[in-house]
Amino acid sequence: MNRREIGEVFELRDNQISTLPYRSFRAGIQGERLEASLQSLIEKNPEVIPGSQIEPGADAPPSFLTLGKELSMHGQALDLLLVDQRGILTLVECKLMENTQARREVVGQIMDYAANVAEVWGGGRLRESASRYWGENTDDVVSEFAGDELDADEFWAQAEENLEEGRMRLIIAADRLRPEARRIIEFLNTNLQKVELLGLEISCYGDNEASMILVPRIVGQTQVTATKTGQRRQGRVWRYDDLTEYYESLDPELGGRLSALLDWASEAGVLMEVEAQNPIFGIKGRHGSRILTVWARGGVYCFMRASIFGGSEEKRDEFISELNTLPMFNYDVRGVISGRNSEGSVDELTDSDFARFLEILERYCVRS
């Protein structure tokens, strides 16, 4: 690769201009070489992904937190798993240009990963996976990353919603992307609805490993796709009237059940109106924390941390056991850090089962 293909970076110091030499990832960065050096760079410094290029002009462009590396997915290993402050997963696959897979194959590889994300990390397993990376401090790390917008439980609930709805970001990182890969990325990112596919080129300059210049550039994002991305990332607070109107547009059986559950929560004083991209609502437990999230498709996510039940694992287990008497639930608290999604939907319950569901919620959610 010659200098003209790479581009040049100039340093102006004391009115003297000089060219910084290009440094190949093959030569090594942070003690690693080849793809491992690029992977390590992004893992330790996810801020090198330029959120302002992904969402130009946004007040709060995406920033990133690493959740894991070299994660097994159906016999292959995803290089990096990141998440942004809105709980949107970002899958990163690293390839140097000299690797022949940096052509078309890497696009198919990362799309294959995307197709299996919900199966691998849904139902609370994302939080568990992150805990294997960050250890006991996971929730502290997440709370600091999310800032004042969301606490750890709310952040993971938002991430679960994004998983449920298939919203994610895919990034192919390279020193330089081959033209055929760029064309595929640009085409797919223009036409995909919920998934954002981007290229990330990172050029490195300098002859001193202790002090280098990194120049990242996003590939595949146009103003049209950036506007589309910004629109689909914006959440809203779903009020009671908004939810009621939305449920009227659904299949009558599903919409009727969701409306009945919404009405019960509102009348019982345990309704939590939630800011999200899709119509969901929460149900508070006796101790004021969200105990359930009700998805628009009728599924129910149950938070299972003992703190939500006043610190009592016994009360938590009693609640879960009662829910499991209903056919849509098959919760297992073993090894759970956050919670689990139900296997079925509220519209699958018989009238008597749905009535019993409300009775259970009455006992565990409404203060006596």
Instruction: Spell out the SS3 assignment of 169-220.
Output: EEEEEECCCCHHHHHHHHHHHHHCCCEEEEEEEEEEEEEECCEEEEEEEEEC
CB burial of 184-207 (b: ≥16 within 10 Å; e: otherwise) equals bbbebbeeeeebbbbbbbbbbbbe
Given this model, what pLDDT does residue 90 score?
Answer: 96
Mean pLDDT across the stretch 52-65? 87
Mean pLDDT across the stretch 160-168? 84
Mean pLDDT across the stretch 313-319? 92
Contact 40, 32 (CB under 8 A): yes
Contact 291, 315 (CB under 8 A): no
Token readout for 200 is: 């990330």
What percent of the chain lies above the pLDDT cut of 70?
A: 88
Give the range with max mean pLDDT: 177-186, 197-206, 274-283: 197-206
Given this model, what pLDDT does residue 76 score?
Answer: 86
Given this model, what pLDDT does residue 31 score?
Answer: 61
Mean pLDDT across the stretch 145-151? 71
More confident residue, 331 or 324: 324
User: 98: burial class by Cβ within 10 Å (0-12, 13-18, 19+)?
Assistant: middle
Q: Positive or negative, the Cα torsion across 254, 259, 265, 268?
A: negative
Mean pLDDT across the stretch 200-215? 84
Given this model, what pLDDT does residue 118 score?
Answer: 84
Given this model, what pLDDT does residue 5 score?
Answer: 46
CA distance 246 to 258: 10
Given this model, what pLDDT does residue 335 score?
Answer: 67
Given this model, what pLDDT does residue 297 score?
Answer: 86
Mean of the per-residue pLDDT values for the chain?
85
- Contact partners, residue 104, CB within 8 Å, separation at least 6: 180, 181, 184
Count the neighbouring beta carbons within 10 Å of the beta carbon of residue 79: 24
More confident residue, 291 or 337: 291
The per-residue pLDDT for range 284-314, each reduced to its tens digit, is: 999 888 899 898 889 998 888 888 888 889 9
CB burial of 231-245 (b: ≥16 within 10 Å; e: otherwise) equals eebeeeebeeeebbe
Evaluate if residue 244 carries a pLDDT over 90: yes
The answer regarding whether domain 3-233 maps to CATH 3.30.565.10 reads no
The per-residue pLDDT for range 191-200, each reduced to its tens digit, is: 787 889 999 9
Weakest mean pLDDT among 30-44, 64-78, 92-106, 165-179: 92-106
Evaluate if residue 221 carries a pLDDT over 80: no
The per-residue pLDDT for range 70-118, each reduced to its tens digit, is: 998 877 889 999 999 989 999 999 988 766 555 567 888 888 888 888 8
Give the range with max mean pLDDT: 23-37, 62-76, 139-153: 62-76
Angle of the 252-268 helix axis to the 240-248 helix axis, nearest 10: 160
β-partners of residue 78 are: 71
Whole-Å CA distances, 15 to 10, 11, 21, 22: 12, 10, 19, 22
Token readout for 153 is: 């439980």
CA distance 336 to 304: 7
Q: Name the pLDDT band for 177 (thresholds 50, 70, 90).
A: confident
Q: Positive or negative, the Cα torsion across 84, 160, 280, 337?
A: negative
Give percent helix, percent strand, percent coil of the chain, each to the nearest 5: 45, 25, 30
CA distance 84 to 47: 11
Q: Name the pLDDT band for 58 (thresholds 50, 70, 90).
A: confident
Helices within the chain (DSSP H only): 3-6, 34-44, 51-54, 105-115, 117-121, 125-134, 138-146, 152-165, 179-191, 223-233, 240-248, 252-268, 313-323, 351-365
Give the range with max mean pLDDT: 162-166, 220-224, 267-271: 267-271
Evaluate if residue 334 carries a pLDDT over 60: yes
User: 4: burial class by Cβ within 10 Å (0-12, 13-18, 19+)?
Assistant: exposed
How far does CA 247 lie from the centroid of its chain?
26
Evaluate if residue 55 carries a pLDDT over 70: yes
Evaluate if residue 278 carries a pLDDT over 80: no
CA distance 199 to 217: 8
Given this model, what pLDDT does residue 92 score?
Answer: 96
